[in-house]
Amino acid sequence: MNRKQKKVLIRIIIAAVFMVVLHFLPLDGVMDGWLRFFLYLIPYLVVGYDILIKAWKGIRNRQPFDENYLMAVASIGAIVLGRVRTGDYAEGAAVMLFYQIGELFQSVAVGRSRRNISDLMDIRPDYANLEDESGHTERVDPDEVEIGSVVVVSAGEKIPIDGVVIEGHSALDTSALTGESVPRSVREGEDVISGCINTSGTLRIRTTREFGESTASRILDLVENASSRKSRQENFITRFARIYTPAVCYAALALALLPPLVLLVAGQQPQWGDWIMRALTFLVISCPCALVISIPLTFFAGIGGASHEGILVKGSNYFEALANTDTVVMDKTGTMTCGVFEVAGIHHAHIPESAVLEYAALAEMHSTHPIALSLLKAWGKDPDPSRVSDVEEIAGHGVKARVDGKQITVGNEKLMASLKIDPQPCSSVGTVVHVAVDGSYAGHILIADRIKPQAAEAVHELKTMGISRIVMLTGDRKAAAQTIAHEVGIDQVFSELLPEDKVSQVETLLQSRRTGKTLAFVGDGINDAPVLSRADVGIAMGALGSDAAIEAADIVLMDDDPLKISKAIRIARKCIRIANENIVFAIAVKLICLLLGALGLAGMWLAIFADVGVMILAVLNAIRALKVSHL
Amino acid sequence: MKKTYKIDVDCANCAAKMEDAARKTAGVADCTVNFMTLKMIVSFDEGADHNTVMQDVLKNCKRIESDCEIFL
């Protein structure tokens, strides 16, 4: 509890004790009339003076009809009525007391969940250790660090700015960014992103971005802007409160005036006191606090909980869209597969397999093509440049080189055909690299993208949650696409698509979705930014460091685990369910109590429950949205 | 021109009201109040002086929610 809350708590305790004492003191007959009135006024004012002031300010600023106004009118009315009729002031003071208890409760609950969330999202680096030319380090504001500077990050510190490691190796804790608990090891030459915590050695990092453009800043920016896009539920509540509060005020006024007037005209006792009391009860019940507080709180907690799981949601409206998803369209590369090339096998080798790989790797040693890199990686030794000469790259086909005095040709079928070498076709899926030694066929190397280990489970999860259509889009060849789709369990595949074909394919799918349902597209943000923004919900995966994806997507998955897709949908569904529960529950209880109040069946005490009790229950329910780790 | 300010406000609805009030202030192009992080992100109109605009924003916010605070 902060100071403000403690102050309110003390006021509540004083007022409550005072009222209990007054209740049990044998005042009847001793202290009636004005003395009793003033005695009850003390706890009332102690606990409620700020509400009265706020209500007065609201009226003066021509912004009446808020909760303060409702509470002030109801409690003053009850006390005045007590003075002229029953001599019972407890009700009026209790209205204020319980209202303040409810407010305090919600304020503490909000404060607590806010702290939870900000602890979870604690990725903002406060300083950077900037190193100057002479090797001295100075602690500076990360904003002041220019691109290309060197910063030093000791163990336990956060990496302040994105950059490249120039010295040192360490394990990085990325859990605040990705929700992934296994530390990532980094060494010289590797890119690191801000917000990660250096857990062991000291790292010297050359910055590649400004602080404002760095990952940590961008993510915080995204989370902080999340509230600008509101869900239907939130907009409903804002509109509802705007119409509802004045409406109940006028209804209460009508309840106080019309029935007595009718009775008067009919020649009966008007019973003013009764009807005014009913109108005041009506006002207390109708206070919309439970709704206006709990609905935004639900989304606030939901977005916060999701960010801790490494799922960034750009606005609560996307929660809504995601909860209604029945079609999930996925990109293949980077989503279902790792997006990296690896040697998957060496086939039909006429010389030892290791020799095929060694010749291919050496011939390709100067190339930076992903396939060349994967060959070198699979071979795993440091290439000796003196063994290789006369390298000739043939764009789009392959490479020719002289290795250890032998003429090596590495490339695709067309290259082999042009050299009149007859290559063995490969029956597996992937990119095939044929190798020939001195003009005779030596075998081929199969390079394939690896399917993510969780891909099949992720698809299965989506199916069990009722996603009726799962579609995979890819630029790959049909056979390759179908094999992968079959392996992970996707039934619908569109292959050999150019990036613009993907947009039109998604548009066709958008037209055929059921009304009220939405289509989510999952991609890794490379080449598919237009599709991400065209889909109802664009989910970018493994987007750390990819600016275009963070920009275009509505939901950003910080790591590349496809299981996060179903998790995001579950979080969204839970959040929406809680919001709807609160709306229905609060409005239903209020309507019933309003009816009872208007009929004179509900007194002030029930009214207080309908207001404060419902609010507390709704707030507790809203906070459930924060707990999403088990989903 | 976009600036972020720390704010203090008690309830999510009051935050929404502040956002509304700030948006209606002259010189403010757009405004987002994040109740979660207690931040107000204001984009200013071209050529507006953000110090004077923020004084008006604060005044307008105080009018609808006397309890709120913007740390300028």
Q: Is the pLDDT of residue B15 over 60?
A: yes
CB contact under 8 A, B67 and A54: yes
- Tell me what pLDDT residue A14 has: 93
What beta strand segments (E) does A487-570 contain? 492-494, 518-523, 537-541, 555-557
In chain B, pLDDT over 90 holds for what percent of residues?
10
Question: ipTM of the predicted structure?
Answer: 0.81
Mean pLDDT calculated for residue range B6-18: 80
A331 assigned to active site: yes
CATH architecture of the domain covering B2-71: 2-Layer Sandwich (3.30)
Q: How many CB atoms lie within 10 A of CB A500?
A: 10
Q: Which of A66, A162, A331, A554 is catalytic?
A: A331
Tokens of A349: 């080798």
Entry field: residues in chain B: 72
Catalogue all structural domains in chain A, each as residue range(s) with its CATH number: 128-157+161-213 (2.70.150.10), 311-337+452-569 (3.40.50.1000), 339-451 (3.40.1110.10)
- Tell me what pLDDT residue A440 has: 84
Amino acid identity for residue B41 in this structure: I
- Tell me what pLDDT residue A553 has: 86
**Are the C-beta atoms of A336 and A330 separated by less than 8 Å?**
yes
**Calpha distance A609→A587 (Å, rounded):** 14
**Nearest residue to A542 (alpha-carbon basis) of A447, A630, A454:** A454
**Calpha distance A429→A568 (Å, rounded):** 32
CB contact under 8 A, A304 and B13: no
DSSP H helices, A199-271, are: 215-224, 232-265
Residue entry with tokens 């009201």? B17
- Tell me what pLDDT residue A520 has: 93
Q: Which string of DSSP letters, residue by residue, matches B4-71?
A: EEEEE-S-HHHHHHHHHHHHTSTTEEEEEEETTTTEEEEEEPTT--HHHHHHHHHHHHHHH-TT-EEE
- Tell me what pLDDT residue A404 has: 87
Mean pLDDT by 10 residues, chain A (631 residues): 87 92 74 78 91 86 76 87 78 88 85 73 82 86 87 90 90 78 84 87 90 81 70 80 82 88 86 84 81 82 84 87 92 80 82 85 81 83 83 80 87 82 76 85 84 89 92 82 88 85 89 87 80 89 70 84 92 94 90 83 81 87 86 77
- Tell me what pLDDT residue A30 has: 63
Q: Does B24 touch chain A (CB under 8 A)?
A: no
DSSP H helices, A381-465, are: 413-418, 455-464
- SS3 letters for A305-353? HHHHCCEEECCHHHHHHHHCEEEEEEECECCCEEEEEEEEEEECCCCCH
Q: Does B3 touch chain A (CB under 8 A)?
A: no
DSSP A186: E
Q: How far is CA A117 from CA A306, A562, A625, in A?
A: 10, 24, 12
| Substitution target from A53, A143, A227 for chain B, most B beta carbons within 10 A | A227
Conformation bin of residue A401: beta by default, left when phi > 0, alpha when psi is -120 to 50 = beta
Q: Is the pLDDT of residue B25 over 80?
A: yes
Domain range summary for chain B, segments of one domain joined by +: 2-71
Residue of A nearest to B17 (CA): A238
Tokens of A47: 């606990």
**Calpha distance A374→A357 (Å, rounded):** 11
φ/ψ (deg, to 5) at A290:
-55, -40
pTM of the predicted model as reported, rounded to 2 decimal places:
0.79
